Amino acid sequence: MAYSTKAKEFYTSELKGMRASGTFKEERYIQSPQAANIKVEYPLGAAPKEVINFCANNYLGLSSHPEVVEAAHKGLDTRGYGMSSVRFICGTQDIHHELEKKLTEFLGTEDTILFASCMDANAAIFDVVLDKDDAMIADRLVHASIVDGIKLCKAQLYNYKHSNMAHLEEKLQEASGCRLRMIITDGVFSMDGDIAKLDKIVELAEKYEAMILVDDSHATGFMGKHGRGSHEYYNVVGKIDVITTTLGKALGGASGGCVSGRREIVELCRQRARPYLFSNTVPPVIVAAARKVLDVISITTDRRDKLEANTKYFREKITQAGFDIKEGVHPIVPIMLYNAKLAQDMAHDLYGEGIYVIGFSFPVVPKGQARIRVQISAAHEQEHLDTAITAFTKIGEKYKILGKKKEEIIQMYGL
């Protein structure tokens, strides 16, 4: 046996270190479909408890939508369970092609290629389109999957300060000697819910002849008038060269992702993208359901409108209740608590009140920026939101932080 005592002890101490520093992640078992009301077993072994879910990426409430579930059943019945192949051998059905066409239309791009996840799409794209003579100019806070994709690419990396357009311009100038340049950003940043300044980024891209890649995982389906994404929100549809996004959030929440954008880039991905060439095809059941999702959200904007109204309502009420939130328009609502233990304790107490939220602290967010991240959904009714506001107010009072500013909270609880 080659699993030595030394190896075992090393891994055990790694795990122990995580537990000691409070970064060990404990999973909770949900015993119901993903929805506004869920049944959760927590702590493990306890009787399941009904709570309102405020931490899913189920933005449009489509994760368990009857029409989507029915489409999935139909897909299973007519196209089978697994494809047992990558796309280019015998893993492409008519419905895969149709879903790619629907995504292209919805996103307002030229062409689309599916991946097993957006993580895979991001792992693939940079190595396909850029080489050592080229430049990647990325926002410092891009998603972990982009960070990994960047590592797999030989192009030179330039980082600009988060959403700092002057710094981006500096980096574009520094990279002016490179053959091709690509600006890389999330459309919406998941910890703060802030939106990349795509109008300014497009201006700079045109000035310095750079391409733009936007990972719109936290925007596709609901940002912008028709929910196309952050490019629609900023009125720059057609000007983003590459969009990567996920089917795992607003678009039904199962799994799958894509690269959508310039025709040649997508075509090159089909030839060269390693996670596409060497990993199995998205299963028919997901493809069939995702097609239905796009139909549902293309016919009417009711769901994204409801999400927008819910978000506005919650942001107003929680602010009136005296909480310090990061301002914005996105359904990610960061409730700032600064102190990691305070965030943990409050999330725990809120769970006791039937509100399922999670406290985030370092290393997920910067030190001294601990928070509870609330995520609003179109699945929430006003009663859900009101119940949450009441519970937050009760727990906020318990910890005496209502109406307190950042400095006061830090003075009371430390960093």
**Distance (Å, whole) CA 314 – CA 308:** 10
Decide whether 190 or 339 has the Cβ nearer to ligand PLP.
Answer: 190
Q: Residue 15: how many CB atoms within 10 A of its CB?
A: 10
Contact set with ligand PLP (CB under 6 A): 117-119, 143, 145, 186, 190, 215, 217-218, 246, 248, 257
Q: Which residue, 93 or 117, is less far from ligand PLP as judged by CB?
A: 117
Nearest to ligand PLP of 246, 310 (CB atom): 246
Does residue 176 carry a catalytic annotation? Answer: no
Q: Indicate which residue of 96, 143, 218, 384 is catalytic.
A: 218
Sorted by sequence, the CB contacts under 8 Å of residue 72 that are 6+ apart come out as 285, 286, 288, 289, 292
Q: Where are the alpha helices (DSSP H) in 152-243?
A: 165-174, 198-208, 230-233
Nearer to ligand PLP, 126 or 392 (CB): 126
DSSP secondary structure letter of residue 91: I
**What is the spatial distance between Cα 75 and Cα 135, in angstroms, rounded to a whole number?**
42
The dihedral region occupied by 209, where left means phi > 0, alpha psi between -120 and 50, and beta the remainder, is: left
Q: Which is nearer to ligand PLP, 123 or 129 (CB)?
A: 123
Catalytic position from the list 117, 145, 163, 190: 190
226 a catalytic residue: no
| Sheet with 49-53, edge to edge strand ranges | 29-30, 37-41, 49-53, 355-356
The rounded distance, in Å, linking the Cα atoms of 35 and 194 is 25
Closest among 34, 32, 31, 15 to 23, alpha carbons compared: 15
Among candidate residues 249, 292, 330, 380, the one labeled active-site is 249
CA distance 399 to 407: 15
Minimum gap (Å) between residue 216 Cβ and ligand PLP:
8
CA dist 408 and 46 (Å) reads 37
Query: Is 249 one of the catalytic residues?
Result: yes
Nearer to ligand PLP, 288 or 389 (CB): 288
Active-site residue list: 190, 218, 249
